[in-house]
Amino acid sequence: MAPTPAVRQPLKLLMLHGYTQSGSLFHAKSRALIKHLQKAFPSYDVTASYPTGPIRLKPSDIPGYEPSDTADSDDSIEAYGWWRRSNTATPPLYTGIEEGLASVAKVLKEEGPFDGVIGFSQGAALAGMVAALLEPGRKEAFAHFVTQKGQDIGLPFPAELGASDFSHPQLKFAICYSGFRAPGERYRGFYENPGIQTPLLHVLGTLDAVVDDSRSRALIDACVGNPEQDGSVVWHPGGHFLPSQRPYLDAAVQFIRKQLDKTNGEAKEQEEEDVNDMDVPF
């Protein structure tokens, strides 16, 4: 008889696209990364889910848009976001973020559990938020910032993630390409009291003219420990895109492998402790 093939462990990734993109477009742009991960982890069944943001954008929502003589209809572009940035307030507000978080909660509930999340630009900012939201104690962190001096200034913890029928473990890792921290008091619950505990890999472009360096560093600083010192910050010599060159694909592989080894080691240690605690008849 032929030997039974070994059952591969699942390695499920949640892929979050950037502003003006879609799930299908991010799928195309991250194909090299996913293929590299599938090759690097042959003992895992690597799968990726690509939801599309719930906010369909108008042509006027696109940076640099200039109206033509023939007005574009709202349906003329396939561009989506997880929220819109409103610059009428200081600091800027993310309008529609509740809807964006609710759509991700739905994916987590229906398609999870996921092992990790990978995002680009606005999707990378969202990836950091999602990683934080699934950590123990985050609901209390949000409650701490909701009301200050009698004013409701903090974003409430997403109702969908706090529902009694929602259950998802803490993510093992997150990878943020051109990521950033949401600005201002309203979003402190994602990043403080405590900081983000899920391991994050930050991949940034030295020539990125879209996401300012200070915004990316604010996300790095929101992570516990010292991400730069432990190799969790990687720079590529390019702009605002997901790099597909071998060194940066390998950086993602090494980071994920480190987190999986850590998780598997902790699981094995727990299993040994459970065995040692058993009552045995000798």
Residues designated as active site: 121, 208, 240
Could you give the CA distance from residue 21 to residue 66 in angstroms, rounded to a whole number?
Answer: 19
3-state percent breakdown (helix, strand, coil) of the chain, nearest 5: 40, 20, 45
46 with 34: CB under 8 angstroms?
yes
Nearest residue to 183 (alpha-carbon basis) of 92, 69, 75: 92
As to burial, measured by CB atoms within 10 angstroms (0-12 exposed, 13-18 middle, 19+ buried), residue 141 is: buried
Nearest residue to 204 (alpha-carbon basis) of 166, 177, 171: 177
Which token pair is 268? Answer: 């094995």
Could you give the CA distance from residue 133 to residue 141 in angstroms, rounded to a whole number?
Answer: 10
CB pairs under 8 A, 24+ apart, for 58-62? 61/20, 62/20
Could you give the CA distance from residue 194 to residue 116 in angstroms, rounded to a whole number?
Answer: 20
CB 254: neighbour CB atoms within 10 A? Answer: 14
Nearest residue to 55 (alpha-carbon basis) of 100, 7, 90: 100
Residue type, 63: P
